[in-house]
Amino acid sequence: MDFINLDVVTEKVYKGIYTGIKTSELDTLSAETCAYMTMVHPDYSKLASRIEISNLHKETQDDYLKVVESLDQMLDK
């Protein structure tokens, strides 16, 4: 956290907010912003990955068996 400026990240994310934005889209926007900021310092990539992993955990079912079944039933378009 010594090399990450959250004020800058917050400002950039705030500029990308629009009416009706979903929280998952907000998480993705935050992660993309942090990934872009990796040019400033590599620690931003850690923050970006943690935000995106948290977002994926929110979208994934808690029941492992249901996840495996849905993956098994998935058809390639």
Return the amino acid letter for 34: C
> Does residue 1 lie within any of the structural domains?
no
- 37 within some domain: yes
Cα–Cα dist 64/25, whole Å? 24
Tell me how many domains the chain contains. Answer: 1
Instruction: With respect to residue 12, please indicate whether it lies within any of the assigned structural domains.
Output: yes
| Radius of gyration for the chain, computed over Cα atoms and rounded to the nearest angstrom | 16
Whether residue 16 lies inside any domain: the answer is: yes
In which domain, by residue range, is 67 found?
A: 6-73
Q: What is the pLDDT of residues 2-21, one digit of tens each?
A: 789 999 999 999 999 999 99
pLDDT in tens, 18-63: 999 999 999 999 999 999 999 999 999 999 999 999 999 998 889 9
pLDDT of residue 12: 94
Sign of the CA dihedral running 62, 68, 69, 74: positive
Is 23 within a domain? yes
Q: Tokens at residue 1, please?
A: 């956290």
